[in-house]
């Protein structure tokens, strides 16, 4: 699928010459500005470290679109985990076109290339991608190509300057009897692998809407893959695991990321409490202990951002207590490869004519 004036090619971003990596990083910088205009400009070195990092046990494909001057104006990336047996069909996908180059057919052309690249990956491959209401064209595009909305989500943001520090300090001392918190920085020690996995599996109780996704079963190998990726990009990962003293079981966890190259933003990752341990305020306690540490140890942090399903009342309740407010609304979309092929003219009906 050609779009006049543009060149599309399949690339491995890690293997590109530095000048082309920088050209790609500039597109990502522009896209971040569209979604989070309240943030400082994302530093190129933070973006480049992600472009250059290797993820173990994943299949990837990438397609870029350049204009006649060699500027990268469009990009699509898709990846599939090779060590998540419950979800071998899920292809996490990100499609981006520079705002000055939209509505010329580039989005559809990039999709056509990535569909062709993913063809033999899985018979029921399911592309998953996220749109948000700060760039509403994404949702219109996805609707147009026949993607199905799978899960509406909120990105909530906590402005650190507004935090009620006294309340957080009080919640951080809740100390529910019978539990202790283990603190992990960047690498999970061998004695906490099993409790972390037990706690992390509780994330499967999270609402999944209409998403055709199996349970997420964390493994030791996946933990090490993630540690390696975070080390390569130079991001800190702080984890708290709540351990049930009587049994040694992992009862809950919460985690955050912070990259010193973009120190203003803290990403609040997963938080979950295993069913058998709910009702003891473990969720609020863990989040308050983490927040208390952020307030002390990350003085350059301005915002903490986190994504929650719209229907996740318990987690949204804790976040509201902590002072999180809605920043933007997102939708996680899904598109089976058969429908994607039809949308870009590669479906069975047209394949014979090609």
Ligand X SMILES: CC(C)(COP(=O)(O)OP(=O)(O)OC[C@H]1O[C@@H](n2cnc3c(N)ncnc32)[C@H](O)[C@@H]1OP(=O)(O)O)[C@@H](O)C(=O)NCCC(=O)NCCS
Q: Which ranges in 160-281 belong to alpha helices (H)?
A: 165-172, 190-200, 220-233
Of the residues 78, 81, 87, 131, which one makes contact with ligand X according to CB under 6 A: 131
Residue in 58, 96, 64, 107 with CA at minimum distance from that of residue 79: 58
- State which of residues 97, 211, 218, 344 lies at the interface with ligand X (CB under 6 A): 97
150 scored as a contact of ligand X (CB under 6 A): no
Contact set for ligand X, span 165-224 (CB under 6 A):
none
Min dist CB 179 to ligand X, Å, is 39
Q: What is the DSSP code (8-state) at residue 43?
A: P
Q: CA-CA distance, 349 to 207, in Å (whole number)?
A: 36
Told to check if 335 binds ligand X by CB under 6 A, we report: no
Binding of ligand X at residue 345 (CB under 6 A)? no
Nearest distance, CB of residue 74 and ligand X, angstroms: 7
Closer to ligand X at the Cβ: 134 or 226?
134
For the bound state, the minimum distance from the C-beta of residue 140 to ligand X, rounded and expressed in Å, comes to 3
- Does 126 participate in binding ligand X (rule CB under 6 A)? no
150: Cβ contacts below 8 Å, ≥ 6 apart: 128, 208, 209, 210, 211, 212, 331, 332, 333, 334
Q: How far apart are CA 255 and CA 185, in angstroms?
A: 10
Binder of ligand X out of 43, 88, 105, 214 (CB under 6 A) = 105
Q: Are 313 and 269 within 8 A, CB to CB?
A: no
Q: Is 263 in the site for ligand X (CB under 6 A)?
A: no
- Footprint of ligand X on 29-58 (CB under 6 A): none
CA-CA-CA-CA torsion for 251, 234, 322, 250, nearest 10 degrees? 0
* 96 binds ligand X per the rule CB under 6 A: yes
Chain residues binding ligand X by CB under 6 A are 94-97, 102-108, 129-131, 135, 137-138, 140-141, 144
């Amino acid at each position: 699928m050609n779009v006049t004036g543009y060149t599309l090619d399949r690339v491995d971003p890690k293997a590109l010459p530095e000048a082309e990596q920088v050209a790609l990083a500039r597109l990502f910088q522009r896209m971040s500005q569209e979604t989070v205009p309240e943030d400082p400009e994302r530093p190129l070195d933070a973006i480049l470290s992600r472009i250059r990092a290797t993820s173990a046990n994943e299949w990837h494909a990438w397609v870029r679109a350049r204009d006649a001057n060699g500027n990268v104006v469009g990009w699509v990336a898709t990846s599939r985990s090779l060590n998540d047996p419950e979800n071998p069909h899920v292809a996490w996908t990100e499609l981006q076109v520079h705002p000055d180059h939209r509505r010329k057919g580039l989005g559809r052309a990039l999709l056509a290339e990535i569909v062709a690249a993913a063809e033999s990956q899985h018979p029921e491959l399911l592309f998953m991608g996220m749109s948000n209401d700060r760039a509403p064209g994404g949702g219109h595009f996805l609707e147009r190509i026949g993607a199905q909305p799978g899960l509406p989500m909120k990105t909530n943001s906590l402005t650190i300057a507004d935090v009620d520090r006294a309340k957080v300090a009080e919640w951080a001392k809740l100390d529910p009897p019978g539990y202790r918190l283990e603190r992990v920085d960047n690498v999970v020690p061998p004695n906490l692998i099993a409790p972390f996995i037990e706690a992390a599996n509780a994330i499967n109780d999270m609402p999944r809407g209409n998403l055709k996704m199996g349970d997420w079963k964390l493994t030791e190998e996946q933990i090490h893959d993630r540690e390696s990726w975070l080390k390569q990009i130079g991001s800190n990962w702080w984890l708290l695991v709540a351990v049930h003293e009587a049994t040694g079981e992992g009862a809950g966890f919460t985690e955050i990321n912070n990259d010193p190259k973009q120190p203003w933003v803290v990403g609040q990752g997963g938080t979950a409490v295993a069913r058998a341990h709910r009702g003891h305020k473990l969720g609020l306690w863990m989040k308050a202990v983490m927040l208390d540490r952020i307030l002390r140890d990350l003085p350059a942090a301005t915002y903490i951002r986190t994504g929650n399903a719209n229907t996740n009342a318990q987690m949204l309740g804790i976040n509201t207590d902590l002072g999180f407010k809605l920043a933007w609304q997102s939708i996680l979309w899904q598109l089976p490869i058969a429908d994607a092929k039809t949308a870009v003219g590669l479906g069975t009906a047209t394949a014979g004519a090609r």
